[in-house]
Amino acid sequence: MGTIAKVVSRVISAVVSAAVLGVASACSSSSAPATTQSTQAPVTTTLPTTTKSQAASAYLAAVASANSAADIFNAKVKTWTSSTTNAQAEADAEPVIAAIQAAQSKLLAIATSYPPAATDLKAEVNAYAAVLGDLTSLATVNLLNASSWVQQADGDVAKAGAAANIVRSDLGLPPASS
């Protein structure tokens, strides 16, 4: 396996590890009424609320597809050789990129429905945006810039893993194993 392939494999393994471990809880919805006053009759609006257990379950469900896509991508990376092109690496990364983007949207929805973890969920989304940037730049990695790409990707993955573990703590989940 080429140097770039080894690095990407290590990066993706770390990304997968950052969000995998946990115990799912049953997820049900509940609501709390909020009243809005107008010059006419009062209007009642139902705002969604989520318990910590529900948010934890939703979190695990939100990252499941990304974890699965990352596992598949990691398996592909392990088959790369020095003749694997950047275009192939980029094509192999597309499904995991799409899955992480979908997870980010779901994490933002959880942030809206579970305010106690909102700031940390948004921080995790932002941390994974940097990892997405690393993955989308695979087409530009070459022997001249591979070292700096590796440093950047390693740092971004470490930050994303730390952000994920903060969210996991907020939700009462154990930290991800590395």
What is the arithmetic mean of pLDDT over 67-88?
Answer: 88
Q: Which residues pair with 48 in a beta bridge?
A: 31
Instruction: Grade residue 4 by pLDDT with cuts at 50, 70 and 90.
Output: very low
Q: For the chain, which residues make up each domain, given as ranges? A: 3-170
The pLDDT of residue 83: 86
Instruction: Grade residue 144 by pLDDT with cuts at 50, 70 and 90.
Output: confident
- pTM for this one? 0.72
Task: Give the whole-angstrom CA distance, residue 13 versus residue 28.
Answer: 32
The pLDDT of residue 70: 86
